[in-house]
Chains A and B, each alone.
Chain A
């Protein structure tokens, strides 16, 4: 870029050169983000002979359908539990000032547990409710019996519990700004007009927070649907949910052609997450009209 080109650009003539500066970034993302995504898309609608919807159709039966149903159940249950309990926790800490120790500690812990739990959380719950676990042993000591651990820990109910453990912190992080956005003046205004606390929440607070709450619930759903590490570490065999079925498809050496079915499963996952995230960002826009 020479010094004579700059004034020219300012006069309205658009030099193509500045845009070229973005090329390294765009090329990098094309290779490592766009190409893998397109590979999944193309792989899902192909078989060895060319275009075919066989793999997409296979999503509708047998293990793939059961896994999808279980995944949706797991994501819905953990999203609802996480959203409700997370909203309660956010409401508990929003009452204390932003600089209070309680609020700082809770937020820091939420930041860590929401994003960096991964396989550690699986181990934590096995150490709690598994064979010889802390709570298992305590229960066996009090009520008698063997500390064998709860059998459902490695099944869907266990996954819901473990997922809720990282969903609540995420809800706190996402929902706290909306709660903070509730202006005290609105409450005062309602009170001046004679509203009780319950009436304020019923007619003002909850309607204002509803889009934010729904949006956050959707985000939690997508988060659970796309999660892999915790489930993979907890359930080492079998594939009760879609992410683990993708693992089986990728690592299975027994059934040839399984790996290619992974493309269809991955596409299914992307579509579900993308639809949910689109709804989330639509709700986010509605929220920001009032609570910013």
Chain B
């Protein structure tokens, strides 16, 4: 009897949670397909690929996401491999620095970015792609964890020593020996980066660049259906990326490989 009650309570609670989390998302889908005069229409969703304001914003955000992922990998992978191989005593320092952006909110960085961005704009021209530099910092905590897990699962030192004794230079060691062995870690770091950049609003809105979330909020005042469609689409894109990532992760773990 008590067992039945416990199970009932469990399912009632789960249903309540499901309702709390699903209703707002269903409301988004509902709102984005509603016509002002009543009835349904897919016009708002079609606008995602036909409205020039939105497509331009999507292009900016996707390009930024790719640039940030590349920049993050370029900065982080060689540094982290190098720390493990040659400067292990700096490991705590690098970890601390990578996790620091969790304590310094993006909003605070924006406030202090004036001087730095005056130089960035001067050197690279005033374009939204300059955001890449600060985005690399914002994604560091998440990509650091992904790469650190991958590097901990392999014996970097032995691999590097083997390659070095066969005459490989350091670039070869990093690019052709270590990198192929941590490719799932690299992929997850890149995916998390892309998902974060696609949804980034704080920095881009306050520095006045028209990324996708910024345009979604601007559109919200003019065309509510279109902006709800875009908002839902961007959340679904992030979800798809993360699901893809977990599939990738599971495939790696499947055939009897024990990696932590």
Contact = CB atoms under 8 A, between A and B. Distances in A.
Interface of A: 1, 18-19, 21-22, 24-26, 28-29, 31-33, 35-40, 43, 85, 88-89, 92, 95, 102, 104, 108-109, 111-113, 115-121, 123-125, 127-128, 132-135, 165, 168, 222, 226, 228-229, 232-233, 236, 243, 246-247, 250-251, 262-263, 265-267, 269-270, 273-274, 277
B134 to A, nearest CB: 6
B114 interface: yes
Interface residues of B, number: 72
A37 B112 contact: yes
Interface in B222-255: 227-228, 231-232, 234-235, 238-239, 242-243, 246
A266 B195 contact: no
Given A18-B87, A123-B28, A229-B213, A117 B105 contact: no
Nearest to A115: B196
8 contacts: A25-B75, A39-B115, A165-B20, A165-B24, A226-B106, A232-B201, A250-B111, A277-B103
A118 B201 contact: yes
A33 B213 CA distance: 23
Contacts of B26: 134
B104 interface: yes
Interface string B129-172: 00001101100000000000000000000000000000000100
Most chain A CB inside 10 Å of its own CB: which residue of B13, B17, B232 = B17
Interface of B, helix, strand, loop or mixed by DSSP: helix
Interface stretch (B46-54, B93-101, B179-187): B93-101
Contact of A119 (B83, B101, B217): B217
Given A25-B94, A108-B239, A134-B26, A165 B109 contact: no
Contacts of B86: 18, 21
B111 A29 contact: no
Contacts of A29: 97, 137
Contact of A243 (B104, B107, B221): B107
A208 B101 CA distance: 30
A134 B23 contact: yes
A60 B112 CA distance: 22
Nearest to A40: B112
Interface string B185-210: 00000000001101111100110000
Contacts of A134: 23, 26-27, 30-31
A40 B134 CA distance: 16
Interface of B: 10, 13-14, 17, 20-21, 23-28, 30-31, 75-76, 78-79, 82-83, 86-87, 90, 94, 97, 100-116, 133-134, 136-137, 170, 195-196, 198-202, 205-206, 213, 216-217, 220-221, 227-228, 231-232, 234-235, 238-239, 242-243, 246
B30 A127 contact: yes
Contacts of B14: 92, 102
Task: Enumerate the 5 nearest inter-chain pairs by beta-carbon distance, A residue then B residue, closest first.
Answer: A36-B112, A226-B105, A39-B112, A18-B86, A134-B27
A95 B103 contact: no
B231 A229 contact: no
A180 to B, nearest CB: 15
B196 A116 contact: yes
Contacts of B239: 108-109, 112, 116
A43 B195 CA distance: 33
A233 B201 contact: yes
A266 B112 contact: yes
Contacts of A229: 199, 201-202, 213
B31 A133 contact: yes
B82 A22 contact: yes
Given A24-B79, A123-B220, A247-B206, A118 B30 contact: no
Contacts of B227: 123
Most chain A CB inside 10 Å of its own CB: which residue of B21, B108, B195 = B108
A123 B79 contact: no
A36 B116 contact: yes
B104 A128 contact: no
B220 A38 contact: no
Most chain B CB inside 10 Å of its own CB: which residue of A19, A108, A118 = A118
A263 B235 contact: no
A115 B192 CA distance: 10
B132 to A, nearest CB: 10
Contacts of A89: 17
